[in-house]
Structure 1
């Protein structure tokens, strides 16, 4: 087929050619830029600047940019020895950030250029690529490019492929924006009121199915939301232009107001839709830029596209039908197949169990389920979470709860009475998440299970029961998903055990970093149920879990389509709320098996410093570390334990990814130990739970991965599109979480902290990684808005540990203990966990500090517990005759029932990082500047600068604003001086949650902002506006802000609209 096209050259440069291509028969116009980047970094800067300028002229046309950029995006695109390319790499990233281009999906060889060297200095790079703007990605989401073999060239050719048609998938998805429609509940009620013969669970599934065509029709009636927003914006612009011709015409004012309401409603619907599809849970109310969500949707869609895959024979397959079959066959073989019931009994392991459920505990977890439990479980699920095969999100059930709540609740409670679950409710969609860039095989995808919301509610109720007793069942060496245990505990302890691995003078030791192949997916169900019986779970509870696990059926989502339908035969679904907790119970059996072997063997040698704690294992879900002395017998014992566990549970060790880490003192045994295990040799630092395990002091080099994570978020597309409020939310919710996670395990080097602050500060004020002068000092930004637990190791007291021993991070933490001592409260109970002499339980502090000769004078041992002087809940001190120690018994704290408790000195007794932060950064003077981010920004932006505005009177703004607000004298009556006194008066006058006061706080912020803007305009641009014009802009800004906030119909809301001379919106506006 011949296609006629017209090519128009728009811009020709030495490094690129920019042209417009017009396909006559297809009625399509696209922009294409072909790139050939210069070799020199300085010359390539002209290319980057040229592309940025072209991006400003593209508009809403699809734009494709491709060719040889002569630069890479990150070091993973380089293979071989290369010079320092960080500057070139950063400039390329900055160009892509500024142009808003996205990478098209790529298939084939990762590296596109080779230096063709034969002398051992071969170098491969990915210099060639295709990029596209978001308009292109939306119009042709199925397009990708393939990298062919280079043949005689040093560059590989790139071929653009894919179906140009935007194929729509018929898979039903409930869009949460439909719940904002005024007739939503009526639509649901029209279906839900019809009785259906059958069980309640069957009735619910039939009614949900009947609602799908109703919502499909409503979605068609809404049309293209993006187009609706564009049309509404155009109408609003026309109405506002007409209004400027006659500002006092009441009809034109009403027309402009109605157009604004339509635009706000259309933009809100689009935003809810994009937020649901973008899956950006961290961005809650901080940003309203739909472009951010749209680009996230386009990126997610592109990353999940599969255009070619290798089959079992290594052949590349590109036919869509064959690709679909390859995925279905793989996961059916992994999760499905013929299930054979095996009679398995693990009762012989009970002597090594930490705890067996008592009769009272068993009765507690099978108590009747209440309607409140069901409702709480529904409302705990995020509205934007991906739904299951039925397509209904939790947002639907929350919005329709007044209509569907009672019947759905009864259907779920019926499950806990009958123990039967419909197959439709337990159907599962397997969505594929790439583990690596450009995956080539099915094994390089991680299957995430999308379960129906009703099923999730059932398992969340089961999880709530399991969590009540999990801490008693799981040994201290496991910290995953156990209430009250932290992931940082594992890292800290592992860090301590690896201390000194690089020294020859210490005892020989080793550690096994075990990787389990397809951990969740290969758990044998019979082993799981045997584990539950061994721990003493009641038969009814096991029956509930068995029904949930064994009735699972799977379909695989490939390129947006649903393929296959097969029953499961093994595995725990990643995405099922219950799976992590069941997996922790499964892994506890491994601990019991190893414990049995160690006790029965008698020749096992513990890792240095581990025997007293009986410590040989650390695990967090499937992240497993085993420790022992470096000798063949101990390592072989671990091998036998892992082999037995694999036979029973189905969890096989992966030798290719497992590592043996040997201390320097045991280097002579390296070869024999590696041969016995078949593992790879590991070297410190190794990655464990996302953090480096090191044997010495943490260096700046060890923290580079932390900076890379932060850079990947800052330099991504989100930063350039987010507003100031959105960037604040990203820093608070995402970026600082990286820092906090590392800080829970390490004392970060000062250089790394400074680098992070530099990145956060620049990103906050500029939205990019480029440097610039910040408007407010970072110390001021980090203060609260109103101002502008230590772990005990076995029987060793934290207060007695010498601070010159152990890992570097541990010593740094010990140096802070005296600072923290006054902030910790001891509640004395039985006294069996408190050191009498060393712990600060007494009002006088640690007794050994105040009375150094106390143990001798009282004849109480220096290592004795406080329980030695407690009898039947009362103090029982021996007679103290030494006058120097008599003071001990004068001021004794009260004794409480139950165990001892250590808490943080706070209202609720719990520790968090913000309270610890206040210890080292005492609160400053409080500044009342309202609730808005703009208010904080405005007041920090130097209020005293108002004094320098000699040509502009800020006093004139007050009458200008007051003249446009009804009945405003009571709100504006106050001090007339500018500066801090006026701000403090206004903030105190307009405090509280009343909507009127909130509006005036926004007014205060807007006033300061526009005064500051006017000052800058007059100082630097020699442009000025009269106070009346500035006042009109301020009032109009507040009016738009009020209209954009969803308000219920109430007397307060009516009063607010009347005060600001805003007509009450049309019916159905409030949400």
Structure 2
């Protein structure tokens, strides 16, 4: 079904109605659907309170925080005390915010009206000293409040490519408006039924995700007979050593200051600003966790933000749940993640290239391309199966993770910590800015938790161990690369992105399917065969079609995408890179250059220059023909108008290149004696150096790559005769001279302008630009 009707909205409309959305009605007997432009003005509930960067600019803010924090005297476990003190400080800061920053735009407008009144009065009569002082004070207050308002808009716009907003510009308002409208979920389909309205949408979201994260209690096969790599004793001890203030501080400073605060609303910018004040309570919380491995209720709470996976999501399965964890849990998780990062390479196989120090995303891509290239050149049959795991992070079975850590030799205390971090998590889903009811998680790893990538690697290692066991028992045959001392490659992994490589055989097809189903039963990771892809090299299409029926998967062709980069094909052809270029173009199209600040325009300019060369490195108005005059000037530049009109006045000869600079006549010696230049062993020497070597016929300056022919020796004689009368002036530096002005050797803008107008008169341009 094609889409031919659209709404075109102005920027003013987007700012006035940020919650508008488009929906299509059923077409009935018609040949097209009617489009409705709706405005969602429903009250979705209270929004979470977050800390603002601009608070630090207010006098008294830091003293208020210190007094409030020190006045709180609570008893109990460290995690409980810290949670309650953070809750109190956030509540008091909310009150402080309403007192100091309530309704900034209206306050700025009132102040500007007063300034306007005083200025109008000053036009008809002289102002009193107190009125002048009031005018100055009002101006300063407007400037200060405008900067605060600008900072709030920048923080709410979530811009990552700009460090901070330079002004409260239309760009930030448009960005916020578009982001709110894009992230809004006014309705969706559940089992083909349209769900809309505040209560129905919230209830449906809660039911979906509380069920989605519920554990599926089934019998798991035993992992006896599977051999995992183990940690060394020293590595295990490093994981459970006491927490130090330095590593905790490093974990805090590793986090973005004002990005995506979790349920407690505490930003890491706040923690950094008041680290000396909070450090004692934070360390007490971590020391107690080290000892007892327990988290107070609320520390491990999570907000789930829904990020669309497709352009126009119709169901909740088309959203990716990203977890926003609280600041105290994030500090703990960051410290633990920094520790496991240092040792995880010991237990993860070389087939895995994600999140392990020294390994890169390109490793798997390069190996896959080498395998495909080897099969193509040697005319060998090769199968590649790209696995699609369904909701990989969300479906992991915690008992499998625990069993893997046991087999890898992780210490008991470490496993206790991980069990507490993973198993006590609760979540609420953000729906149009407000929260659903809270529910407990029964499975899965939270995307957004610093620990999750490393814990997922431990789970994914289970698949690697299974594959190694299948290969060792000769139940599965990978692809052997090379003819001398061949290397077998059976699979490549980047987190959950898995590519299986093997020889063409029905035994491999059956073993591949069996291995994936066994891994699903072990780990909970379900393979979505209908979205997985089978590709063959030198394999008949009919055979691939039959194999795809056995696997219930799609059939692909070379080149195909793995990790968003092409595998196979001819990398020298443009079509090979077209999918990647399309993705880059899609990203660049989102840039609204007319709203960008000067910094943003320069970033866009650099992208254009890097991609298309200097001809696209100009900021134009209108379309491609909008800079005709400038293109004429650029044409003169490319034709060498400047260097064609300058030459050197010889002094001591140290800064003039003998062969390539124009210093003797109207042409360089390289152009006049091109054959000698090609044969010379001193191409880059200065005039002074060549003079010192000696440029008479027997001089050392004439060193050649080979023996000269007779006619070439004649050219040397001609050149030495030309140089006979050249003398250097040791006390005088080399100088540039301007040749375009016959009356003077000095450069002037007037003479350059006359020269340019003579070569390409701009007033004769007929294809005038239209703006």
Same fold judged by TM-score > 0.5? yes
Deviation at 1:431, TM superposition (A): 1.0
* Equivalent position of 1:173 in the other structure: 50
Q: Please point out which of 127, 143, 151 is paired with 1:264.
A: 143
- For structure 1, which segment, 697-706 or 614-623, has the greater mean C-alpha deviation from structure 2 after superposition? 697-706
Q: Distance in 2 between matches of 1:517 and 1:183?
A: 52
Counterpart contact for 1:430–1:447, Cα < 8 Å: yes
Counterpart contact for 2:153–2:172, Cα < 8 Å: yes
- Report SS of the residue matched to 2:437: strand
Unpaired runs of 5+ in structure 1? 1-110, 112-123, 740-752, 781-943, 952-1018, 1020-1071
- Report SS of the residue matched to 1:627: strand
- Report SS of the residue matched to 1:364: helix
Q: Please point out which of 342, 350, 358 is paired with 1:468.
A: 342
Deviation at 1:723, TM superposition (A): 1.6
Counterpart contact for 1:435–1:444, Cα < 8 Å: yes
Q: Residue 232 and residue 437 in structure 1: after superposition, are their counterparts in 2 closer, same or farther (change >3 A)?
A: farther
Counterpart contact for 1:375–1:409, Cα < 8 Å: no
Q: Distance in 2 between matches of 1:539 and 1:238?
A: 74
Q: Is 1:573 aligned to residue 450 of structure 2?
A: no
CA-to-partner distance for each residue in 1:1000-1040, whole Å, 9 max, x for gaps? xxxxxxxxxxxxxxxxxxx9xxxxxxxxxxxxxxxxxxxxx
Q: Residue 472 and residue 390 in structure 1: after superposition, are their counterparts in 2 closer, same or farther (change >3 A)?
A: same
Deviation at 1:667, TM superposition (A): 3.8
* Equivalent position of 1:46 in the other structure: none
* Equivalent position of 2:369 in the other structure: 495
* Equivalent position of 2:300 in the other structure: 426
Q: Distance in 2 between matches of 1:666 and 1:608?
A: 21
* Equivalent position of 1:673 in the other structure: 547
* Equivalent position of 1:809 in the other structure: none
**Which residues in structure 2 correspond to 1:179-218 (within 5 Å)?**
179-193=56-70, 194-218=72-96
Q: Distance in 1 between matches of 2:446 and 2:182?
A: 22
Q: Residue 567 and residue 260 in structure 1: after superposition, are their counterparts in 2 closer, same or farther (change >3 A)?
A: same
**Which residues in structure 2 correspond to 1:884-899 (within 5 Å)?**
none
* Equivalent position of 1:659 in the other structure: 533
Q: Distance in 2 between matches of 1:448 and 1:144?
A: 23
Q: How large is the RMSD of aligned CA atoms in angstroms? A: 3.5
Q: Distance in 2 between matches of 1:337 and 1:613?
A: 41
**Which residues in structure 2 correspond to 1:684-763 (within 5 Å)?**
684-716=558-590, 718-729=592-603, 755=612, 761-762=617-618
Q: Is 1:146 aligned to residue 23 of structure 2?
A: yes
Deviation at 1:948, TM superposition (A): 4.2
**Which residues in structure 2 correspond to 1:866-881 (within 5 Å)?**
none
Q: Is 1:439 aligned to residue 313 of structure 2?
A: yes
Q: Please point out which of 496, 507, 513 is paired with 1:639.
A: 513
Deviation at 1:654, TM superposition (A): 0.4
**Which residues in structure 2 correspond to 1:580-591 (within 5 Å)?**
580-591=453-464
Q: Residue 627 and residue 605 in structure 1: after superposition, are their counterparts in 2 closer, same or farther (change >3 A)?
A: closer
Q: Distance in 2 between matches of 1:661 and 1:406?
A: 58
Q: Distance in 2 between matches of 1:185 and 1:945?
A: 59
Counterpart contact for 1:283–1:730, Cα < 8 Å: no
Q: Residue 494 and residue 126 in structure 1: after superposition, are their counterparts in 2 closer, same or farther (change >3 A)?
A: farther
CA-to-partner distance for each residue in 1:977-1006, whole Å, 9 max, x for gaps? xxxxxxxxxxxxxxxxxxxxxxxxxxxxxx
Q: Distance in 1 between matches of 2:117 and 2:587?
A: 39
Deviation at 1:379, TM superposition (A): 2.0
Q: Distance in 1 between matches of 2:39 and 2:186?
A: 8
Q: Distance in 2 between matches of 1:657 and 1:570?
A: 23
CA-to-partner distance for each residue in 1:241-278, whole Å, 9 max, x for gaps? 88899999987876565444323322321232222222
Deviation at 1:644, TM superposition (A): 1.3
Structure with the bigger RCO (C-alpha within 8 Å, sep 6+) is: 2
Q: Is 1:508 aligned to residue 381 of structure 2?
A: yes
- For structure 1, which segment, 422-431 or 143-152, has the greater mean C-alpha deviation from structure 2 after superposition? 143-152
**Count of paired positions:** 640
- Report SS of the residue matched to 1:125: coil
Q: Distance in 1 between matches of 2:371 and 2:126?
A: 76
Structure possessing the higher radius of gyration over alpha carbons: 2
Q: Distance in 1 between matches of 2:531 and 2:128?
A: 75
Q: Distance in 2 between matches of 1:167 and 1:643?
A: 42
* Equivalent position of 1:415 in the other structure: 289
* Equivalent position of 1:1000 in the other structure: none
Q: Is 1:555 aligned to residue 428 of structure 2?
A: yes
Q: Residue 463 and residue 379 in structure 1: after superposition, are their counterparts in 2 closer, same or farther (change >3 A)?
A: same
Q: Is 1:127 aligned to residue 5 of structure 2?
A: yes
* Equivalent position of 1:301 in the other structure: 180
Counterpart contact for 2:42–2:198, Cα < 8 Å: no
Q: Residue 768 and residue 593 in structure 1: after superposition, are their counterparts in 2 closer, same or farther (change >3 A)?
A: farther
**Which residues in structure 2 correspond to 1:362-381 (within 5 Å)?**
362-381=236-255
Q: Residue 515 and residue 234 in structure 1: after superposition, are their counterparts in 2 closer, same or farther (change >3 A)?
A: farther
Q: Please point out which of 230, 244, 263 is paired with 1:356.
A: 230
Q: Residue 235 and residue 511 in structure 1: after superposition, are their counterparts in 2 closer, same or farther (change >3 A)?
A: farther
Q: Distance in 1 between matches of 2:286 and 2:311?
A: 41
Q: Distance in 1 between matches of 2:149 and 2:222?
A: 56
Q: Distance in 2 between matches of 1:769 and 1:452?
A: 50
- Report SS of the residue matched to 1:446: strand
Q: Distance in 2 between matches of 1:279 and 1:617?
A: 39
- Report SS of the residue matched to 1:129: coil
Counterpart contact for 1:511–1:625, Cα < 8 Å: yes
Deviation at 1:577, TM superposition (A): 0.8
Q: Residue 500 and residue 723 in structure 1: after superposition, are their counterparts in 2 closer, same or farther (change >3 A)?
A: same
Counterpart contact for 1:388–1:428, Cα < 8 Å: yes
Deviation at 1:152, TM superposition (A): 5.0
Q: Is 1:316 aligned to residue 194 of structure 2?
A: yes
Q: Distance in 2 between matches of 1:447 and 1:508?
A: 40
Deviation at 1:494, TM superposition (A): 1.8
- Report SS of the residue matched to 2:225: helix
Q: Distance in 2 between matches of 1:770 and 1:283?
A: 30
Deviation at 1:234, TM superposition (A): 6.1
Q: Distance in 2 between matches of 1:236 and 1:307?
A: 43
Q: Residue 666 and residue 154 in structure 1: after superposition, are their counterparts in 2 closer, same or farther (change >3 A)?
A: closer
Deviation at 1:770, TM superposition (A): 8.0
CA-to-partner distance for each residue in 1:427-458, whole Å, 9 max, x for gaps? 11111111112211111111111100111110
**Which residues in structure 2 correspond to 1:1044-1055 (within 5 Å)?**
none
TM-score w.r.t. the length of structure 2 is 0.76
Counterpart contact for 2:475–2:508, Cα < 8 Å: no
Deviation at 1:721, TM superposition (A): 0.8
Q: Is 1:455 aligned to residue 329 of structure 2?
A: yes
- For structure 1, which segment, 408-417 or 259-268, has the greater mean C-alpha deviation from structure 2 after superposition? 259-268
Counterpart contact for 1:308–1:323, Cα < 8 Å: yes
Q: Distance in 2 between matches of 1:485 and 1:626?
A: 19
TM-score w.r.t. the length of structure 1 is 0.55
